Amino acid sequence: MDEEAIIYLVFTSIIPVIAIANLSAFGGGFLPYFVIILAALEIAFLFAMNFADFLLFPVIMGILGITFQPYKDYKITRNQEAVVKNVNGLYYATGFTTANLFAFVFKAEREEEGQDVKQVQAVDVWEKVVMSIPFSFKFHVISAARDVQNVRDELEGKRSYQEFEMSKALNSKTSNEVVISDIQRKINVIQTQIDRISQGEKPIATIMYFETTAVGVSEKAALDTLAAQIKQLQIAASSLDVQMLRVVGRELYVLFKYSFALPTEYQAMTANFDVQQ
Amino acid sequence: MDNRIFMFLGLFALSIIVLIVIISVPLDYMSPIEKLALLIVAFFFDSLAFSTRFYSYLFMPMLKQRRRNVVLNSEEAYWLSSSTDSIIHKEGEDYIATVFIKVPLYRSGTEMTDQEKFEFTNQIARIVSSSSSPARFTSQLHIMNKDEYISTLRGTASASESEEAGLLSRSAPDTEVNRIRGKSSMWHHMLDNVSRTISLELVNYVSVSASGIKEFEAIAAAQQRAREMMSAIAAVFGISPSVITGEAILRFVEPEYLIPYSTATEQITKSIREEVI
């Protein structure tokens, strides 16, 4: 959880807490209990919005039946899962899925497990994916280089923290071999990342996602075809070792906007998404 | 200060005010049920205040329009620059220009050795980390627009038919008639084949954006970024990337250009026919 989330949660949780602290203002009987239940629900809602707004927001918009027009001729559907465009009576529905190549992220951990072989295989795997898909799609990688010195400082800070944890674990009577080897593994991963930067490799942050478009004579037909295409895409790309989740809600809106204008700064790029570093 | 912060503070203050009213007004002037109703209102404002963290862009349009189709922007999403080499998007007071660069990579894994595949993936990694500002690398599979080709084939096939009819009316020799008949049959056969299957095309491109307070400033900055990116691509792959201009840009932006109209209608007719059968 980042600092911003903590600030928002602390501020907004004050309201239900104050309500509970002033139960006497509601008189006697069953009402104070009702206030406690309401306050608990409010806190639960705030936490749910913080951790799973991508689940709540489409449900709320679906119940209210609200659709959005992000730009002229486009519509974001009530379930917040696709952008639809009507062109001469044909509906084009566009959807997005995440495609973070975690295998690449964990390269540092698996240095000894034949990363070179994986790199060699990547070309063939990608070609097989492309050949097995009979509809239009786009695979996007948005990347931006990070400040080398900042990343280095950050990694060294992390390494120092892990080394401190290690010394604590070694001195503690309760720690076991599993804890120590886990900390050692974390130190090794960080050290490998520092070494890679020292060797001249640029640290970058990336966002990877698939975009696909389906067509239909009605909005429903286009959305149904889109859902089928996304499923097919998920199956086809499974060999890439990617985690593919359907993008909904505000992230869909942001990715849709990227079709016309990319973020121009690193900070703008990382504001809406967890990036792969 | 950011609009989002203003909204948060405004809604949070409303929530606090309502809560103060609930607590400070004695039960003689306000019944417990009325207080409970006000508490629900306070929680509602509190929830909205938290939601501004992610959804501040929706609040004002939703409040102003109060209808099920909320228009976030009624303008076109972008327009083509006068130099036709970029698209311009307006975000608040800023202009964001996006340039698309075609990367003519026509190598396949089937014609590479393992060493070449390894080098190729390294080249991709170098390109992805080459830009300090965000850049998007895309592989796009789209359906080829064969409308023009099909209409040329239709023209040629009917010309052959007319030629055959002319020969028959002039009682030309059988060999000549058979030759033209064969030619006509060949064109019809080709027309059937071409229109029966869809042809897919894979293109790779890079897009870069830059912002400016004036349109020309954004275009100049985006072109500068594009030039840097093009020289990096040329240096790594030894190819000549080019800036995409004019209507060709639409293939990367508009969904209807991914699935051409005639193909889409043909695809829909085919699926309806299959469903009926």
Which candidate, B88, B55, B61, B87, places its Cα nearest to that of B73?
B61
CB pairs under 8 A between A and B: 251
User: How far apart are the C-alpha atoms of B108 and B128, rounded to whole Å?
Assistant: 19
Work out the number of other CB atoms within 10 angstroms of the CB of residue A243: 13
Mean pLDDT of A42-58: 88
**CB–CB of A12 and B46 under 8 A?**
yes
Domain boundaries, chain B: 3-65, 79-143+201-276, 147-196
Q: Is A56 on the interface with B (CB under 8 A)?
A: no
**CB–CB of A66 and B108 under 8 A?**
no
**CB–CB of B259 and A136 under 8 A?**
yes
State the greatest distance between any 2 C-alpha atoms of chain A, in Å, as a whole number: 74
Domain boundaries, chain A: 3-64, 74-146+203-272
Question: Tokens 């203050």 belong to which residue?
Answer: B13
Residue A165: predicted pLDDT: 87
pLDDT at A108 over 70: no
Q: Is A276 on the interface with B (CB under 8 A)?
A: no
- For residue A137, the chain B residues in CB contact (below 8 A) are 140-141
Report the SS3 class of residue A80: coil
User: How far apart are the C-alpha atoms of A250 and B58, rounded to whole Å?
Assistant: 10
Nearest CA in chain A to B268: A216
**CB–CB of A261 and B208 under 8 A?**
no
User: How far apart are the C-alpha atoms of B189 and B183, rounded to whole Å?
Assistant: 10
Question: Tokens 């120092």 belong to which residue?
Answer: A160
User: How far apart are the C-alpha atoms of B153 and B195, rounded to whole Å?
Assistant: 10
Q: Which of B258, B259, B262, B268 to mutate to probe the A interface, most A CBs <10 Å?
A: B258
Nearest CA in chain A to B259: A136
Question: B12 and A8 in contact (C-beta within 8 Å)?
Answer: no
Interface of A with B in 204-243 (CB under 8 A): 204, 206, 213, 215-217, 221
Question: B77 and A260 in contact (C-beta within 8 Å)?
Answer: yes
Interface of A with B in 237-256 (CB under 8 A): 250, 253
Closest approach of B172 to chain A, Cα-based (Å): 47
SS (H, E, C) chain B: CCHHHHHHHHHHHHHHHHHHHHHHCCCCCCCHHHHHHHHHHHHHHHHHHHHHHHHHHHHHHHHHHCCCEEECCCCCCCEECCCCCCEEEEECCEEEEEEEEECCCCCCHHHCCHHHHHHHHHHHHHHHCCCCCCEEEEEEEEECCCHHHHHHHHHHHHHHHHHHHHHHHCCCCHHHHHHHHHHHHHHHHHHHHHHHCCCEEEEEEEEEEEEECCHHHHHHHHHHHHHHHHHHHHHHHCCCCEECCHHHHHHHCCHHHCCCHHHHHHHHHHHHHHHHC
Q: Is A200 on the interface with B (CB under 8 A)?
A: no
What confidence tier does A176 reach under pLDDT thresholds 50, 70, 90? confident
Residue B43 is nearest to which of A42, A65, A260, comparing CB atoms? Answer: A42
DSSP A93: E
Question: Tokens 């990382």 belong to which residue?
Answer: A270
Nearest CA in chain B to A61: B68
User: How far apart are the C-alpha atoms of B26 and A46, rounded to whole Å?
Assistant: 29
pLDDT digits (tens, 9 = 90+) for B211-262: 999 999 999 999 999 999 999 999 999 999 999 998 889 989 999 888 887 7
Q: Which of A55, A83, A123, A212 to mutate to probe the B interface, most B CBs <10 Å?
A: A123
Work out the number of other CB atoms within 10 angstroms of the CB of residue A186: 17
Kind of pairing between the strands at B87-91 and B94-102: antiparallel
Closest approach of A110 to chain B, Cα-based (Å): 17
pLDDT at B2 over 60: yes
pLDDT at A107 over 50: no
pLDDT digits (tens, 9 = 90+) for B126-159: 888 888 889 999 999 988 877 777 788 888 988 9
Supply the pTM of this predicted model: 0.82
Q: Which of A120, A142, A232 to mutate to probe the B interface, most B CBs <10 Å?
A: A120
pLDDT digits (tens, 9 = 90+) for B63-113: 888 888 899 988 899 999 998 999 999 988 899 999 999 999 888 888 888
Residue B209: predicted pLDDT: 94
Q: Label residue B5 exposed, middle or buried (CB < 10 Å: 0-12, 13-18, 19+).
A: exposed
Q: Is the four-CA dihedral A181, A187, A190, A191 of positive or negative sign?
A: negative
State both tokens at B10: 């405004």
What confidence tier does B60 reach under pLDDT thresholds 50, 70, 90? confident
State both tokens at B78: 């972008």
Closest approach of A52 to chain B, Cα-based (Å): 12
With respect to CATH, is domain B79-143+201-276 assigned 3.30.1460? Answer: yes
User: How far apart are the C-alpha atoms of A261 and B218, rounded to whole Å?
Assistant: 11
**CB–CB of A261 and B209 under 8 A?**
yes
